[in-house]
Chain A
Amino acid sequence: MTAAAERAPVARADLIKRGARTALVPLLSLLAAMVLGGLVMIVTDPDVLPYWAAFFRNPGRAVTVSWELVSDAYEALLRGSFGSMNAFSETITNATPLVFAGLGFALAYRAGLFNIGGEGQILAGATTAVWVGFSFDLPAVIHLPLALVGGIVGGAIWGFIPGILKARTGAHEVITTIMLNYIALSGLNYLLKTTTFLRPGRSDPISQIVNDSAQLPAFGDYRMHAGIIVAGLTAYVVWWLLFRSTLGFEFRSVGANPSASSYAGMSVGGTYVTVMMISGALAGLAGASQMLGVRHYMSPGFLGYGFDAIALAILGRNHPVGVFAAAILFGALRAGGLSMQAATATPIDIILVIQALIIAFMAAPALVRAIFRIRAETVVESEAVTKSWGT
């Protein structure tokens, strides 16, 4: 038996242990956020508050009513996200673009860049994918991949701009990417009025519909589509790229210490450009998958995945596996939130509160440890959520 084979099971056990330790703070953040979210539900519910006003007359009642309110809401949330095949399909449908966009943010973050231009890159990718989707008449085996590549190219171009600006002039990517979001939005508004995009017979800004041959096939009658498979494969590719390739070595090295990287002969500026292009391409895929899988046409406005992607990437500790899991969670919150609102009259905004609280807890791991009384682990490099802001 070779030494490597002997070592393998140990390494796997070690990996699982490390993974569990890494996931601990995110999971506890989620738990703490759900508890606080429950408290918010209680104090904002006009039907429950009177029982608390009468707390000293009937304390048991106040507690029971509050408990019922929160448990009903969370039960509806769970039912609406995983309770049936249809609910599951909705969760996956919502999660698919979030996986891509989250991977895009995480990749840039690993290279020390805070890419908050996901929203604009998503629009750029969605627009090019839709254009490829309705402009050509090709067999599906060619047309669908071509449309996806269209999304990649569109997003990559939108990522290239802040990348080259940072490399050449030092312009901070937080500023340039957020500006480019609005340029993308206005650009889309303009494009939708051109004859290339405008749907025949319509005068409002709505694009032509993507041909069947470029659509991502759905699973049976459900809304969820093959995009989730592409998303899973993409997560694997991003993992490989980050942790097994020379390119990823450069990304992480430049992200952790640009100065030492340039001393070691890497081109820091070149890395920024490459990273932003790949990050943008991933966001572009988010837009493309949503267009080719669900909506099939462009209309004005952001798709609204870019900022959730930042939150879930942080929750997933900017690791492809974590990002995938966090995207499913956020997809479930979106899908379940709708049915929670319908079933229990709990406003869907509570989902936003929970998401925001998760991030607040993730940004303060010491607080989470204090609440749950766990000992500090050795500092994990991706723990500093806000690290790239100062530079």
Chain B
Amino acid sequence: MKVELRGITKRFPGVVANADVNLSVEAGEVLALLGENGAGKSTLMNVLFGLYHADEGEILIDGKPVVFNSPADAIASGIGMVHQHFMLVPVFTVTENVMLGVEPTGPMALLDRKKARDRLLSLSKEYGLEVDPDATVEDLPVGVQQRVEILKALYREANSLILDEPTAVLTPNEIRDLIQIIRTLKQSGRSVIFISHKLKEVLQIADRIAVLHRGRVAGITTPQETNEQQLATLMVGREVQLEVSKETAQPGEDVLVVDDLEVLDDRDHKTVDGVSFKVRAGEILALAGVQGNGQTELVEAITGLRPPLTGTVSLNGKDVTGRSPRDLFRKGLAHIPEDRQADGLVVSFPIEDNLVLNTYNEPEFSRGLAIRRDRVRESAENLVEQFDIRTTSTTAAASTLSGGNQQKVIVAREFTHADELLIASQPTRGLDVGSIQYIHEQIVAKRDEGVAVLLVSTELDEIFALADRIAVMCRGRIVGTLDRKGATRDRVGLLMAGETEEAETVPGEMAPTPTEDES
């Protein structure tokens, strides 16, 4: 099935999200849609999926114009979409999720689960989408949940699949599996539109690459004709540096020492199980690991947000276990939380208020009970300029900023006070290439000032760009600590997946392809 978009323009009050976009994808082709956040990728796909109505332009399927008023119309025409945030009912089984909305019924309008289950099994065999049809969705790892979403689309006879940032939530191994699945889909004659802002995987998967910049198609190319640097330039609209230049670390004294820490999560599961490590002044220790292996709770315990069960946290030789976040902040600890909108910002507050979220009651900004508004404003104007936060006014709400600029607000606030230790959790998640470059440079600059940096990341690219040492966390434990020089992507990837022995025996070399899902 050939899908074609012709002259699509979509306007929102004050913004043109898509301007005269022409794209097509043939049967058996993988088209990558590459662009920064806010470039209009999602809007375009929502137009194609019937969630938005284009102001101008038309959609053609196999050369015939169609009008989609709702996703139901799009699905009926053979278009399937796997959203970035899955649309699954966690307490339902895989079969129930897949049949939801198109339930087969038997006599007396009873649900025919068996029919659905059989069809699901045959689909899953045909496309190599291994999944237990009777498992409850909430018990499945994210990668398998994604397969359920793909199966859902196939069950509805999708000939053209839209995958919205499908790799954002996956482990390196799961990404490898996904690429295999996409190849199978392609061989079966289906077309795939793959949305991403990651250059490496786009080059790996796509047959053709369309780059979107500010709502327009900035270029269409193929992986053979292009390279990372060229794509990045098209995507950002200017020359960008992909590698962070940094000197060898000059580590000093131990700043952060974590000793045998055990932490419980909200459901009283021990998610940090005897973790010990240290970070020295002037070095970046990257804590690598797949999301949900205890990093979040570990950071919360170090930053005073969650009392640890046992173990100690010391800062510059002093035991600070269980101290309040404010105490630790005053001792020179700065923290970039992993979820910037939930934990880093009060998005309804003006930028200037967000910039003093932890310093509003310091003498610099207050006198008695009164906040010194003039000083807050003055400091905000300086920081906005210094950190190049793109906004019209410091009184604009933080919610009006793009993700990259929101992160810059947090970086501006935290870096000003990162005197001893900087903890950066997923500092570039969801950001575009330009912002990633900027934030990486800032982190390296902090290190060179002699600050100890603990970087928590799930992205191998980021870990290898920044780390001086790499500690890999899996199931609440540190399963290996490597020096940057001796580390390879494969070794770290395997350690992240929990395959410790294998990693030990095959040091640094290409590992065998995984056969089992980690769960």
B347, CB-defined interface residue at 8 Å: yes
A304 CB to closest chain B CB, in angstroms?
34
Whether the Cβ atoms of B325 and A253 lie closer than 8 Å is no
B102, CB-defined interface residue at 8 Å: no
Whether the Cβ atoms of B346 and A261 lie closer than 8 Å is yes
| Contact with A246, one of B324, B325, B329, B366 (Cβ below 8 angstroms) | B366
7 additional A-B residue pairs with CB within 8 Å, beyond A262-B325, A264-B358: A244-B371, A245-B371, A253-B349, A253-B353, A260-B345, A264-B357, A265-B358
Q: Which B residues form the contact surface with A (CB < 8 A)? A: 303, 305, 324-326, 329, 335, 337, 342-349, 353, 357-358, 360-361, 366, 369-371, 373
A387 CB to closest chain B CB, in angstroms?
11
Within the assembled complex, what's the spacing in Å between the Cα atoms of A266 and B353? 14
Whether the Cβ atoms of B369 and A253 lie closer than 8 Å is no
Within the assembled complex, what's the spacing in Å between the Cα atoms of A381 and B346? 11
Q: What residues on B are CB-neighbors of A261 within 8 Å?
A: 346, 357
A265 and B325 contact, Cβ closer than 8 Å, known pairs A249-B353, A257-B342, A260-B343: yes
Closest 6 A-B residue pairs measured CB to CB? Answer: A265-B326, A264-B357, A264-B358, A257-B346, A265-B325, A381-B348
Whether the Cβ atoms of B344 and A260 lie closer than 8 Å is yes
Whether the Cβ atoms of A246 and B342 lie closer than 8 Å is no
Q: What residues on A are CB-neighbors of B357 within 8 Å?
A: 253, 260-261, 264
A263, CB-defined interface residue at 8 Å: yes
Whether the Cβ atoms of B369 and A245 lie closer than 8 Å is yes
B370 CB to closest chain A CB, in angstroms?
6
Whether the Cβ atoms of A245 and B358 lie closer than 8 Å is no
Q: What residues on A are CB-neighbors of B360 within 8 Å?
A: 246, 249
Within the assembled complex, what's the spacing in Å between the Cα atoms of A247 and B371? 9
A294, CB-defined interface residue at 8 Å: no
Contact with B along A233-270 (1 / 0, CB 8 A): 00000000000111101001100110111111111000
Within the assembled complex, what's the spacing in Å between the Cα atoms of A188 and B366? 43
Within the assembled complex, what's the spacing in Å between the Cα atoms of A265 and B324? 7
Whether the Cβ atoms of B337 and A244 lie closer than 8 Å is no
Within the assembled complex, what's the spacing in Å between the Cα atoms of A267 and B353? 17
B173 CB to closest chain A CB, in angstroms?
32
A375 CB to closest chain B CB, in angstroms?
8
Within the assembled complex, what's the spacing in Å between the Cα atoms of A266 and B324? 9
| Contact with A263, one of B305, B347, B353, B370 (Cβ below 8 angstroms) | B305
A-B contact pairs, 5 of them (CB 8 A): A257-B347, A259-B343, A264-B357, A265-B358, A266-B326
A12 CB to closest chain B CB, in angstroms?
15
Within the assembled complex, what's the spacing in Å between the Cα atoms of A257 and B371? 20
B364 CB to closest chain A CB, in angstroms?
12
Within the assembled complex, what's the spacing in Å between the Cα atoms of A316 and B174? 53
Q: What residues on A are CB-neighbors of B343 within 8 Å?
A: 259-260, 263
Whether the Cβ atoms of B371 and A260 lie closer than 8 Å is no
Within the assembled complex, what's the spacing in Å between the Cα atoms of A86 and B27? 83
When A and B form their complex, what is the total count of cross-chain residue pairs whose Cβ atoms lie within 8 Å?
Answer: 62
Within the assembled complex, what's the spacing in Å between the Cα atoms of A318 and B512? 62
Within the assembled complex, what's the spacing in Å between the Cα atoms of A247 and B368? 10
Whether the Cβ atoms of B342 and A264 lie closer than 8 Å is no
Whether the Cβ atoms of A265 and B329 lie closer than 8 Å is yes
A263 and B346 contact, Cβ closer than 8 Å, known pairs A244-B373, A246-B361, A249-B360: no
Whether the Cβ atoms of A262 and B305 lie closer than 8 Å is yes
Q: What residues on B are CB-neighbors of A256 within 8 Å?
A: 346-349
B305 CB to closest chain A CB, in angstroms?
6
Within the assembled complex, what's the spacing in Å between the Cα atoms of A322 and B206? 57
Interface centre among A245, A249, A260 (most CB of B within 10 A): A260
Interface centre among A252, A266, A267 (most CB of B within 10 A): A266
Within the assembled complex, what's the spacing in Å between the Cα atoms of A252 and B343? 15
B358 CB to closest chain A CB, in angstroms?
4
A5 CB to closest chain B CB, in angstroms?
13
Q: What residues on A are CB-neighbors of B349 within 8 Å?
A: 252-253, 256
Interface centre among A244, A247, A261, A263 (most CB of B within 10 A): A263
Whether the Cβ atoms of A253 and B305 lie closer than 8 Å is no
Q: What residues on B are CB-neighbors of A246 within 8 Å?
A: 360-361, 366, 369-371
| Contact with B370, one of A244, A262, A264 (Cβ below 8 angstroms) | A244
Q: What residues on A are CB-neighbors of B346 within 8 Å?
A: 253, 256-257, 260-261
Whether the Cβ atoms of A264 and B347 lie closer than 8 Å is no
Q: What residues on B are CB-neighbors of A260 within 8 Å?
A: 337, 342-346, 357
Whether the Cβ atoms of B342 and A259 lie closer than 8 Å is yes
Within the assembled complex, what's the spacing in Å between the Cα atoms of A247 and B361? 9
Q: What residues on A are CB-neighbors of B369 within 8 Å?
A: 245-247
Q: What residues on A are CB-neighbors of B342 within 8 Å?
A: 257, 259-260
Whether the Cβ atoms of B344 and A263 lie closer than 8 Å is yes
Within the assembled complex, what's the spacing in Å between the Cα atoms of A256 and B324? 21
B7 CB to closest chain A CB, in angstroms?
28
* B342 to chain A: closest residue by CB: A259
Within the assembled complex, what's the spacing in Å between the Cα atoms of A252 and B366? 17
Within the assembled complex, what's the spacing in Å between the Cα atoms of A267 and B361? 13
* B327 to chain A: closest residue by CB: A265
| Contact with A249, one of B303, B326, B371 (Cβ below 8 angstroms) | B371
* A267 to chain B: closest residue by CB: B324
Within the assembled complex, what's the spacing in Å between the Cα atoms of A89 and B353? 42
Q: What residues on A are CB-neighbors of B358 within 8 Å?
A: 264-265
Within the assembled complex, what's the spacing in Å between the Cα atoms of A247 and B370? 9
A22 CB to closest chain B CB, in angstroms?
15
* B356 to chain A: closest residue by CB: A249
Contact with B along A263-296 (1 / 0, CB 8 A): 1111100000000000000000000000000000
Within the assembled complex, what's the spacing in Å between the Cα atoms of A180 and B366? 37
Q: What residues on A are CB-neighbors of B335 within 8 Å?
A: 263
Whether the Cβ atoms of B326 and A257 lie closer than 8 Å is no
Within the assembled complex, what's the spacing in Å between the Cα atoms of A266 and B358? 8
B334 CB to closest chain A CB, in angstroms?
11
